[in-house]
């Protein structure tokens, strides 16, 4: 019997049955000129808005150009930044919604999470969204207080912030940004496994996941598009195939969370500040990384899609649709869902991809391999710092000889025989020959090393 730490949503059974839903690409980590710099020689510090040159409408226009259906404007904070978000950023967001009405634009911020650096805070759309963000940032963001308050950099303050977020009629969503920034492979920095578990324990409907692939992936591109052989791909983040170690290491931290039965999802973002063409280290929203949500094109359904894990991620537009299903004799589940199994039985897995004709580098990316990954659910871990799940393994590596192609679609199937233990399945794919993603090296072109990852399906033995 599994020890599922969160209730299974009643929506799981019909997640993909609603024909009005489709895969919608988006980005929840985008900065504008309201990510202020501060002159700390004044009292209070004086903000300036020239860290990077783009307005919220410019970001939205580029997001639309690069194929996004939704975005979240997430400026990071500083002393009294809550007033900047309320009085400057939010009015510009309202103007941006008018200028680019085709794009769903959420209000949010890169929350200065106490004791844990940054997280994307996505506010549900409502008439009071600006007030909601203002109150959260004003009371709890670690850098908002002036004079500085050491209490704001404590884990206890983060727990209080999550409790406060739970008081709103519409709960926000919180996603840990660049979780291994500043760390080396095998070590952690500002975000440790214990902290992320504590977030999820305190507010499982709010703290729902982490960036699987951090932004700033154009760090070694020169303004003319050539590669700087001395520069690294992402900013202050050792990655494997462009993905954070907490996601990319098979049987690592992510699998340890899933092995507890946690609904802990991954995303992929641009963290756009300054585009590489302008001398920065970033891609435009949607130019390289995309988070796809299976949803209706509405604020509520997109946010609930993220909250419930109806998500896959890709870099370099390697794919643009991913349907993963697990079916028993009587029921079927899709990404983010749960397949109940009354006892030992076979489970039929179907993976269907839609490829991309050409990406934003002018390439036609080609899927070389798809991996089906399975791990057991063993229940809550006694040690909250644990970052491994030794049961996780690749049960099938699919190559072109194992799948069928019909136009832009690739389909493959696999039978999991005699499933008798609660478990989860997920898939990943790549355009490389690497059996496991390797640590990214200086001078590596981000366009040559593309991956996609699905979020899991849970197989629950009753």
- pLDDT value of residue 412: 98
Q: How does pLDDT run across 31-45, given as a tens digit for each residue?
A: 999 999 999 999 999
Cβ neighbours of residue 155 closer than 8 Å, sequence gap 6 or more: 114, 115, 116, 195, 198
Q: What is the pTM of this model?
A: 0.95
- pLDDT value of residue 6: 40
- pLDDT value of residue 235: 84
| Residue 448 in domain | yes
Strands 207-213 and 173-176, bridge-based pairing: parallel
Percent of the chain residues past pLDDT 70, beyond the cut: 96
| Residue 3 in domain | no
Q: Domain span at residue 131?
A: 11-461
14-23, 136-145, 237-246, 333-342, range with the lowest pLDDT? 14-23
pLDDT at 218 over 80: yes
| Residue 412 in domain | yes
- pLDDT value of residue 7: 37
Positive or negative, the Cα torsion across 437, 241, 337, 355? negative
CATH number at residue 336: 3.20.20.140
Can you tell me the mean pLDDT for 296-306? Answer: 98
Q: Which two tokens stand for residue 280?
A: 């920065």
Contact 176, 209 (CB under 8 A): yes
**Number of structural domains in the chain:** 1
Q: How confident is the model at residue 344 (pLDDT cuts 50, 70, 90)?
A: very high
DSSP 39: E
| Residue 2 in domain | no
The mean of the pLDDT values for the chain is 95
pLDDT at 289 over 50: yes
Residue 49 or residue 89, greater confidence: 89
pLDDT at 228 over 80: yes
| Residue 361 in domain | yes
Cβ neighbours of residue 415 closer than 8 Å, sequence gap 6 or more: 346, 347, 348, 349
Nearest to 318 by CA among 350, 371, 354, 282: 354
| Residue 310 in domain | yes
| Residue 273 in domain | yes
| Residue 421 in domain | yes
What are the backbone angles phi and psi of residue 383, rounded to the nearest 5°? -105, 110
- pLDDT value of residue 5: 38
Please name the helix (run of DSSP H) or strand (run of DSSP E) that holds residue 133, with its range, or none. Answer: helix 129-140
């Amino acid at each position: 019997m599994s020890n599922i730490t969160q209730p299974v949503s009643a929506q799981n059974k019909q997640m993909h049955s609603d024909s009005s839903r489709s895969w919608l690409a988006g980005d929840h980590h985008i900065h504008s000129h309201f990510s202020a710099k501060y002159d700390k020689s004044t009292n209070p510090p004086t903000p300036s808005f020239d860290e990077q040159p783009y307005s919220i409408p410019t970001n939205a226009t580029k997001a639309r150009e690069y194929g996004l259906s939704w975005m979240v404007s997430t400026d990071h904070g500083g002393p009294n930044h809550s007033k900047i978000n309320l009085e400057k950023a939010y009015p510009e967001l309202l103007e941006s919604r008018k200028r680019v009405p085709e794009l769903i634009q959420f209000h949010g911020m890169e929350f200065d999470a106490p004791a844990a650096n940054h997280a994307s805070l996505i506010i549900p759309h409502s008439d009071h969204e600006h007030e909601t963000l203002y109150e959260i940032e004003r009371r709890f963001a670690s850098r908002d207080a002036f004079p500085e308050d050491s209490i704001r950099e404590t884990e206890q303050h983060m727990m209080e912030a999550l409790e406060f977020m739970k008081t709103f009629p519409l709960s926000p969503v919180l996603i840990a940004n660049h979780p291994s920034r500043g760390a080396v492979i095998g070590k952690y920095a500002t975000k440790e496994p214990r902290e992320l578990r504590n977030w999820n324990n305190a507010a499982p409907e709010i703290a729902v996941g982490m960036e699987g692939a951090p932004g700033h992936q154009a760090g070694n591109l020169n303004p003319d598009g050539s590669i700087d052989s001395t520069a690294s791909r992402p900013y202050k983040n050792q990655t494997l195939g462009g993905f954070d170690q907490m996601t990319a290491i098979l049987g690592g931290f992510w699998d340890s969370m899933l092995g507890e039965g946690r609904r802990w999802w991954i995303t992929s973002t641009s963290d756009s500040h300054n585009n590489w063409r302008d001398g920065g280290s970033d891609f435009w929203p949607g130019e390289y990384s995309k988070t796809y949500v299976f949803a209706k094109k509405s604020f509520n359904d997109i946010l609930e899609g993220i909250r419930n894990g109806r998500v896959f991620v890709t870099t370099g537009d390697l794919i643009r649709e991913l349907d993963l299903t697990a079916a028993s004799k009587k029921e079927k589940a899709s990404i983010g869902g749960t397949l109940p199994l009354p006892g030992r039985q076979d489970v039929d897995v179907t993976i269907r991809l839609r490829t991309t004709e050409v990406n934003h580098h002018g390439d036609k990316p080609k899927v070389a391999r798809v991996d089906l990954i399975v791990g057991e659910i063993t229940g809550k871990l006694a040690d909250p710092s644990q970052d491994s799940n030794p049961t996780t393994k690749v049960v099938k590596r699919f190559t072109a000889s194992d799948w069928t192609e019909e136009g832009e679609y690739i389909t493959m199937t696999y039978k999991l025989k005699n499933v008798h233990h609660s478990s989860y399945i997920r898939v990943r794919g790549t355009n490389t020959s690497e059996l496991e993603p390797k640590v990214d090296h200086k001078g590596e072109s981000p366009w040559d090393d593309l991956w996609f990852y699905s979020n899991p399906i849970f197989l629950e033995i009753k």
